[in-house]
Structure 1
């Protein structure tokens, strides 16, 4: 007997989510363009005759030594500025699971499954490629992250006609991906834990939470508490960006009817996302992405186990993990693709998941130490994977545009571009 299929995959977002997601997609796209520009500048400078000045700039030390916060500028970018990025990520995570479409188990199952597949398969392939090189093992988590800003910037160029449902899926997938990455950073890459500072950090975090629960928005009250919490988490040995996530989780999220004004989480996200996407992430990318090809071993670095592991993990692992998990959800829930899509769309989007820039570079630094040969090989692998994933995704999505069902061309207004799909 033929099975009756039930449900659809990649359905368009609910009406209450559409406007918010459209604005978010536009901001992430602009931030991704700045990120790409910062990375290109770093690569050009670090491979120019003036690369010594680039290295010296990142090594400039600033900060109070008495508080053990005399850090190089590169460390301030990864430990300090990225805390803003993770604060916004914490807000978005809570928003999606409390008031967004992820509160609905039927909608949540696909992005959660795809994110888990997009973590497990790349990590497994990395370990398989680096088998026999114990020194490479700490980098297993590098290819598990997807850079949503970078991916959406690429998608804005190569996927203008892509239906809305698939764009929002990429964004939702990245939200779950961020949660997994945050957990890995906090649990796996904390080598020396100082319990005292960590417990003390709970005090300013709790005070911050009490104030925001009472709808307090005064920066002169909240910002000092956030800075103290960040400094104590940094002193504890846990990566300081985790403080940003914890602070984001304390902000209340309320399900609001259409037409209601923004809540406190939306207020903070509106204020801090431009700083995160326009300053924090590009500055981090500028200091993290600069790797000298000559210093990393020339083109021979592409044959290094770490480089190959990252490259294979991001490009092949993300593609197999995300697309494979999507197929399994379709197979076992008897759901079929939305009428606006074909499986080439899914494959192209999975390839875009192989752009794992910001968090991948951060994990590489945590795994091997900034400036080490292995860290340079991570950077080489991440940059190469981002280029390869972009090129392959371009080819596949253009093929998908030709094969997409004709009735999909009037699908919906593209929230990222603000125009109807052609």
Structure 2
């Protein structure tokens, strides 16, 4: 028997002070819209565009203030402690790294944005549950899909790649919609597919099929190999959570996760393994040249790194200019979030972040695999997709990156369900007064 079918009515998801639901839901709507349109906003010529855009910063500050106001901090100050201890510790290391950051000002701004977004997501899920935010995310992702398809077909000069890039050959003809690059567009449709496959029983089947088909077609036309490979593996992981009840279930799920991630990455890197030249650093879309620069810097600074957010896009003092030449110095990320974290927060930081975002959530899911199987399947698939996607695109602990936002949402949902189960079991253990 499931603990509950609609977490909006589960008493253990509520805190002592009644939440202001309207402002909290508005905060979630703004957060998701800014997250999804971040690449477009950065490209649109707004003042201070890119990572220093005051418009985006004001938007996320509004989200934070709305979530803070909705939490009634004066009536329930303990209600502000919504972030799990493991993630709080990882964020603590991020903030500590500002002390040795190559550019403390940029590091401070990026750490603040990352922290406020993470806190806002956990506050929203902890206060109002998962169902409404999940449905809002579905609606916004469907709307974005329709816009991206329309722009790609009607305005191909905007919605379709027309030139190649040094680090990504073969872009011409790939759909991107309003997302400026297929690597931004791919995750949005992949996450949409997962959200309409799992835990979507209240959505009419015909609508689910149409949305999944449209999203799959756009994903195919985008040529986003990372997202395509990871979403197939994520569907397999979610299906195991949902249907497999045999012996050694946890071992099989973990093994499938590792195999799926490896297969997806291999399919991306080795498009033609029989013809590929594995010794050419310019093969595999040039990633090895970028990764070589990152690993070289990390080997020189293994424990502390450059400081959070202080490797890429910090001006001429950036380490990349000393560890690479040519087009590599012009890329914006390391295209591998694990290596980026190694280079910026060192070994301790990477361990803390992986423990908080991978190890603890996975073991929490495995420990409650038979409770609310549909929800577990969805969150497991999102968790796997976002972590796996980080192997070829840097998104983990990267402010408002699309996979980062939905990863934190999945972790918040997992921890919220676990807190609900703990509260129920503790209540059941208290003897009732006759």
Is this a same-fold pair by TM over 0.5?
Answer: no
TM-score of the superposed pair, with normalisation by structure 2:
0.29
What's the TM-score, normalizing by structure 1?
A: 0.30
